[in-house]
A and B are shown apart, each in its own frame.
Chain A
């Protein structure tokens, strides 16, 4: 027999930890599968290790995660760390690998809490060695206390400033910060300011981070509307256009970031309906008020459905679990509604700041859809924007056909890096809205799977 659970939670970030605790508390037999070795997700990555060693200052928002991780550890869930989930079917059959063996498990209710991914940033030169994402740099800092000295930070979004702040605090030299937030965004975001007052403390924190950069004598270059990274085999310099003039800055390392987008791979592979969200310029998974998707029994908690941030993810995790518990008849609808109320209230407050943040940090079109047509879009198969335009000119209608035309999205990452860029580019070249272009049809395994792991698969009784 395949192992079966009442609730399986995929991911142990804030949403997954909250959801599984609530699930277990109300008596559901719960399994948590997480790719990392310890709980925390990306935002609270390596929380336990960093709380214990207290050597790197990662900020107050990070320390908020310590108590959540502790209560997760104390909850009655089966927790499998180091589990790479490579398949979720609409019948709630989950395939994952751990330590060289594939496993199949099933559940009555599945809660997807796979979080967010960094938005691809296809600028000329982004595939050069020594170009990394800001998120990857933060992982190095959290996991191994390693910093990239004298890097140029390029892009937009809260995470960019947070990591610069963490670098400054940790004493890692920063060469420069090139801010790509379009100037007009500031004006547009003002309209959403009244709703954002509840989050004023965090907006102010952002301002402090900016002032800190200036105080540390790090060049902060704003109003930049184009960049290209130069180098022959490795990064040598970055060029940027500031007020219509191109300038050049020599450097060895570039860290890119332009916000995060939901990791929808697993939900789409399961057949959950999605929609294009113009405000966040990414795909959202369609959910009801209990975060259940269009596929019965599959719910999406946290940033893997739409971006709300770590605090919202935690609230959404609790609410999602309550919805699943009600469907399992563990609690009545009345209990569910009563228990959800405080989480819903916090969530509502938390989400009020989103329109402001989404508007302020919306990346400019040219950084999402490269105008320099030689820019590589699909790293694995080295497909450029120009090749995509040529395929569209030949009659290619969408991302799935593009695979057949060019092999775009067919390499080892299976389109996880280029998917968003490809949909938007096809839309631009064919003059169609992105929602009409659609996304890659996702083929399992949605994470790399070794042939040996699959061949060793265990879902039968041992005899």
Chain B
């Protein structure tokens, strides 16, 4: 090995995982369950970025068809999440509704629901205006109906990351936070991952570096076009309970839900600026103003509520908006990153898939659309 590595602490494991977001922690947990020794390297702290600060939607509704088999498999784990990680992760099973504001939007949704049926999935359904009003008594009267998944839900993002991490740790997985990967080398069939204060040696490597996944892929000699985006969210002061489940809109970007403590989360994919070199994000108020306008248009009750916080998390976005979940072209390396703003629900299954790839080189879910060499 290079002499510069000699003075540093050396760690050895069967698998080194880069990134302690939800997918990294989940991969660590699935591997630890199989008795595999794991080290997770995290440049900040577990759940610092998109995994820990997202809207927490656990959603199959409206998924890209390529992700549907994964999403459906993940939903099964979510329903049993407490038994799996010894913490309920703040998960509440609930409906997810996408509201249609015009007849055109409604017919677009009908087409979609039929398409999903033809692919063999039956969880998405249409609801008419009356049913919509019964389910969401405070929805604006102009909304004409919508589509629904009755047993999706939402969870507490940071708590979820923490739960996966703690469970993995209890099974022997090691986490090193504040440890940024500087270089990666492979010699004699072993990966040497060099950080500022240590070198980790492991025969297998998993890249779960989110918005930074492209940089890690590059160190393995691969090009993945993943850009950093900053998805903005707002939260309000506590309000009397007025809405259950998660609400979106067909014609505008919106993700809307009320927590048990009364606060309301308003998201919707409006982007601020992300700077992944210094971890900062900057908000774009015109985007937030549109988001606020959407919220009050769908739920007029929102008008007089106070916004107490707005923020954005740094997330990896791919050109086609679906992740990279794929073996690397390099030997014994695997990728799971670039979830493009909808990776939270996929976390539990993402770790399972990567663990399967690491241990058996195969998985029973279709991964073809997520290959790294598709770009």
Contacts and interface: CB of A to CB of B under 8 A. Distances in A.
Answer yes or no: do A and B interact. Answer: yes
A412 B306 contact: yes
A295 to B, nearest CB: 12
B305 A102 contact: no
A448 B308 contact: yes
B13 interface: no
Interface in A68-96: 87, 89-90, 93, 95
Nearest to A448: B306
A444 B283 contact: yes
Interface string B1-21: 000000000000000000000
A104 interface: yes
B305 A451 contact: yes
Nearest to B299: A451
B158 interface: yes
Contacts of A452: 292, 296, 303-304
Contact of B45 (A397, A414, A459): A397
A3 interface: no
Contacts, number: 79
A411 interface: yes
Contacts of A271: 280
Interface string B281-313: 011011011001101100000111111111100
B52 interface: yes
Nearest to B290: A455
B282 A449 contact: no
Binding site secondary structure of chain A: loop
Interface in A434-463: 443-445, 448-452, 454-457, 459-460
Contact count band on A: 20 to 34
Interface string A260-303: 00000000000100000000000000000000000000000000
B307 A450 contact: yes
B236, B285, B293, B302 pick with most chain A CB within 10 angstroms: B285
A457 to B, nearest CB: 4
Given A444-B283, A445-B310, A451 B52 contact: no
A450 B305 contact: yes
Contacts of B289: 102, 454-457
Contact of A451 (B159, B238, B302): B302
A286 to B, nearest CB: 18
B73 interface: no
B288 A412 contact: no
Interface of B: 45, 47, 52, 158-159, 162, 236-238, 280, 282-283, 285-286, 288-289, 292-293, 295-296, 302-311
Query: Which 8 pairs between the two chains have the least Cβ-Cβ distance?
Result: A455-B292, A457-B289, A404-B158, A455-B293, A454-B292, A452-B303, A443-B309, A448-B306
Given A404-B52, A449-B306, A455-B292, 5 more contacts: A102-B289, A444-B283, A445-B308, A452-B296, A454-B289
25 contacts: A89-B282, A404-B52, A410-B308, A410-B309, A412-B238, A443-B309, A444-B283, A444-B309, A444-B310, A445-B307, A448-B306, A449-B307, A450-B305, A451-B295, A451-B296, A451-B305, A452-B292, A452-B296, A452-B303, A454-B288, A454-B289, A454-B292, A455-B289, A455-B295, A456-B289
